[in-house]
């Protein structure tokens, strides 16, 4: 297909090339209706301007920062690795990507980390805690002209520009349906372990899971959710206690990370083939446990896709180009040991 030009966009929108240029670069005030026509034409023609040439012409580079959790969470480590890989690739497009780690379970610590980010960055992607202090820090960044994308876990009431991640409520409902069907009418208890109920992705997964369980599987009793801060050792202690206190436990849904701790607790109790275990994220540890039969189902989101999507969103904001929403939709993958990639 022939690549659309700025002249094609102007013709489609019924405006001049200069007007399209002003819309793309925000160089002068343009009437909202005109902006809407130009942006619609851009979407319809899938117009992709030469962003590198434009940056070279302006004599500048873009700078983005990823703020990710510190610790041993295998999925977050995979996210960090993907950020480093993309940072190397994007240097040829005159884009600098920095990586910072902090304690995202602490609103004060995460808020302080965001407050320390100055106007040197054009955009920030952050795994965020849904807390008023964090929300205000995101809003302050936006007010300073820094585009903010929430990654994996959202703060929807903030003025962030976009959320990059799966629909976590749907992921929780999916886990519940799979749990109910795998248990095939058995009666017993199902336990939930989350990282933190201050993380919106964990809360939404819990909500979706409980919504389906309570309405569709009355044969199953849900136990109160327990928190493990996504730490393998803490999660193992929580899971061991859960197993010790409930001899009729027949299912565990791990809302967050630390799956290797639950697997270790199940194997230590000799109940790895009696308890249906559903968890999130395909990592080296969960892959082995899935193949070995301790984990029954993994609900996954692609770390590389999320990082690339976050960068595309930040680039589109910096270049003032409309998003192609279908490209940025993060899908939910379901893995059994029979279909591991």
pLDDT in tens, the chain (341 residues): 567 888 888 899 999 988 888 887 666 678 888 888 998 988 888 887 666 555 555 556 889 999 999 988 999 999 999 999 999 998 877 889 999 999 998 999 999 999 999 888 999 999 999 999 999 999 999 999 999 999 999 999 999 999 999 999 999 999 999 999 999 999 999 999 999 888 999 999 999 999 999 999 999 999 999 999 899 999 999 999 999 999 999 999 999 999 999 999 999 999 999 999 999 999 999 999 999 999 999 999 999 999 999 999 998 888 777 777 777 889 999 999 999 99
Q: Which two tokens stand for residue 105?
A: 């379970």
Q: Are residues 147 and 181 in the same domain?
A: no
187: in domain: yes
What whole-number distance in Å separates Cα of residue 62 and Cα of residue 318? 8
pLDDT digits 0-9 by tens, 45-102: 888 766 655 555 555 688 999 999 998 899 999 999 999 999 999 887 788 999 999 9
Please report the pLDDT score of residue 159 as a whole number.
Answer: 96
Q: What is each CA distance from 106 to 10, 130, 197, 198, 205, in whole angstroms? A: 49, 11, 12, 9, 20
Q: What's the chain's average pLDDT?
A: 92
Strands, DSSP E only, in 11-169? 62-69, 95-102, 123-126, 147-151, 162-164
Residue 139 within any structural domain of the chain: yes
For residue 321, is it within any domain? yes
- Same domain? For 72 and 34 the reply is no
Domains in the chain: how many in total? 3
Distance CA 206, CA 176 (A): 10
Sign of the dihedral defined by the CA atoms of residues 51, 56, 58, 61, in that order:
positive
State the residue range of the domain holding 12.
Answer: 6-49
What pLDDT score was predicted for residue 247?
96
Q: Do residue 199 and residue 295 come from a single domain?
A: yes
Residue 338 included in any domain: no
Q: Which two tokens stand for residue 103?
A: 């304690």
Q: Give, in degrees to the nearest 5, the angle at Cα 224 between 221 and 229.
A: 135
Tell me, what's the pLDDT at 56?
A: 56
Q: Supply the pLDDT for residue 29.
A: 76
Q: What is the pTM of this model?
A: 0.81
Strand, helix or coil for residue 19: helix
Asked if residue 82 and residue 146 are part of one domain, the reply reads yes
CATH code for the domain of 25: 1.10.260.40
339 found inside a domain: no
- Pair (280, 206) in one structural domain: yes
Question: Quick check: is 35 in a domain?
Answer: yes
Looking at the fold, whether 249 and 326 belong to one and the same domain comes out as: no
Tell me how far apart the alpha carbons of residues 166 and 306 are, in angstroms, rounded to a whole number: 9
Question: CATH no. for residue 172?
Answer: 3.40.50.2300
Residues 87 and 74 occupy one common structural domain: yes
How many CB atoms within 10 Å of residue 51? 17
Residue 335 domain flag: no
**With the CA atoms of 197, 112, 133 and 201 taken in that order, what torsion angle do they form, in degrees rounded to the nearest 10?**
-30
pLDDT, residue 326, reads 72
Asked if residue 273 is part of any domain, the answer here is yes
């Amino acid at each position: 297909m022939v690549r659309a030009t700025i002249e094609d966009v102007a013709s489609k929108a019924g405006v001049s090339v200069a007007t399209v240029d002003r819309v793309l670069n925000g160089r002068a005030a343009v009437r909202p209706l005109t902006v809407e026509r130009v942006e619609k034409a851009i979407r319809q023609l899938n117009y992709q301007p030469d962003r590198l040439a434009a940056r070279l012409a302006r004599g500048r580079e873009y700078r983005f920062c990823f703020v990710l959790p510190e610790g041993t969470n295998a999925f977050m480590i995979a996210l960090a690795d993907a950020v480093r890989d993309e940072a190397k690739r994007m240097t040829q497009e005159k884009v600098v990507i920095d990586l910072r780690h902090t304690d995202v379970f602490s609103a004060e610590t995460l808020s302080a980390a965001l407050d320390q980010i100055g106007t040197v960055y054009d955009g920030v992607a952050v795994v965020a805690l849904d807390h008023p202090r964090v929300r205000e820090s995101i809003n302050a960044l936006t007010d300073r002209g820094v585009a903010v994308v929430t990654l994996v876990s959202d703060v929807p009431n903030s003025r962030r520009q976009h959320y990059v991640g799966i629909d976590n409520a749907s992921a929780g409902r999916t886990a519940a349906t799979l749990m109910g069907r795998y248990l095939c009418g058995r009666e017993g208890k199902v336990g939930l372990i989350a990282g933190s109920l201050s993380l919106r992705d964990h809360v939404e997964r819990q909500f979706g899971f409980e919504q389906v369980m309570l309405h569709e599987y009355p044969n199953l009793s849900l136990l109160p959710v327990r928190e493990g801060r996504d730490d393998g050792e803490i999660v193992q202690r929580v899971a061991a206690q859960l197993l010790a206190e409930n001899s009729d436990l027949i299912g565990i849904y791990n809302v967050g990370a630390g799956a290797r701790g639950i697997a270790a607790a199940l194997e230590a109790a000799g109940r790895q083939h009696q308890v249906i275990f559903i968890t999130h994220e395909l990592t080296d540890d969960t892959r082995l446990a899935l193949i070995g039969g301790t984990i029954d189902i993994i609900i996954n989101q692609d770390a590389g896709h999320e990082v690339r999507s976050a960068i595309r969103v930040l680039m589109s904001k910096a270049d003032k180009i409309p998003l192609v929403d279908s490209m940025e939709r993060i899908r939910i993958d379901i893995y059994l040991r029979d279909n591991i990639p």
